Structure 1
């Protein structure tokens, strides 16, 4: 691993926020153009059928929201019709699950607490899933992370820690990359598994309107499950209120990313197998699948740009390599784990050390037990 003195600074240190946002904006414009270019009349027919109340009558007859709700549910129903379509969607869902995991982990880090869009990701994720797709990542989520990174760098380069700053200061604290609470190591992976991966499995297996509607609101289920599990964990383990550095404990790190990586590997195997079989997708399924694949492809490009700017080409290469072999969900998770070793807002600044820790309490390490 590179030492801090030898590690080069990444692009996020050298370019202002305005310049960093040029690429996401261009990608958003390109995404919209490509999706419009590849828009199929079959997809427009779905809207017409829902507007005419001929599809999913119990849903399409709801005033105001009936037509768009029917269209969204019908769109995913068609995208899940057939063995090849299920395999493609499984790979896509594993990728989204990986992104959801790292997004939720970043939401729990002390350094991101000042950013509403990062610390409270339910709103942006709902907008992504219900309305904007890749464009939400390009114009909302990624810019929020760039803005926060630049804010930290600016604070550390233009000022010094205040006398009242502690180790958990989001800009200067030694613990700024820690999770706000140790309980998050239980709450986050369990919430993502229950709130996202279980509904995702249900839509792959059932492909019913009820299962799709449930899945569409997965950001809400993940948020509620995370809050409930965190409170339950803290009620049972009161000393788990303290901060915790996830990457310093192998058991916690494996537990955090095990489900998305495993699901990614399984979906990758399913996709490879499906490519050896006859493509059983109908015309409507091909149209909806193509639309989703294009959207997710541009999300992937945006995420790679994000990682390249903040962590450099090596992390980007690791992410791409892992995605090719183990699937996109595993790729983003493994790349993100490696990325953490490159995070370095400013090597020259003096951080606020954890001086308030009692002498008998050691810094969390690989040997620190997760349950104690």
Structure 2
């Protein structure tokens, strides 16, 4: 089972580095510019990051590298955060993350990096389409949840634009003819846009399609979409290109629609965990100890954890499989890197065993535990937490 959120992407980028040793340094902070005196606030933020890194033993070279990334303009509208990850002095990740902070800022140095912010911003691998409908055709652009927009032109669908408007009021015999002709052009243009959107849905497999634009064109476009595309569609009742207030309302609409998709997937996971636990079919485990045991055997398909509920607990990070342990005797002869925050150890083990990871509230998990997992195959006897 291949993971469908940030863990799969991180495995591809960090796999070999996470397996080995070395020293990590990271910084996750708000870099929004929509504040009073943004230059001064940015300078204060950068100074705070630098001081926190030095306090934890980062070298001047590492501090300078991370500071250099934070000094770059994010290039996307506020609110926005930045995450920079350095391994043995080299930048391995420098990510602009649209939206507010997810949790608290994180700045640190250690043997295992804090990857939780990336998982929080990218809880699922969720491509989505934003479609603008017009009577003369349409346009759409692809995005990915938790990723800054790629600097690519939107896909344009240019339809016919002759006689797009009704003829002027009159009582002549031509009036109904031209009105019908104009409406047919609108329908044709909308059908062409819908066909392009349907093709994008088939190739990209997005989790959401948001349609906005002219009211008549929106209605015609939605009617022309395939059943697959229609099931993914959320309609914004306005045109974000008309004025600033409409644009802001559209942004909020998209954010709400994305949050609904993410929440639905999280609730489905929580329901599945409760179902397997209730059945006692050994296809789910609960409790930190049992989740660690599952990850040690690469048995976890989906791991759900509450970082707040786990708190300050630590686990042992290992320099090879089984990657994580609760005590030295569980290391099975693998060198121990050392004790690290339990959340960081769990995320690292999930990445290295290609398990999907979901951040949840402990209250939604069976028994209110801090961690649980769906398994790739049934588990044996329970492991005490």
Smaller-chain TM-score bracket: under 0.3
After TM superposition, the score normalised by the length of structure 2 is 0.22
Q: Which has the higher contact order (CA 8 A, sep 6+)?
A: 1
Higher helix share: 1
Higher strand share: 2
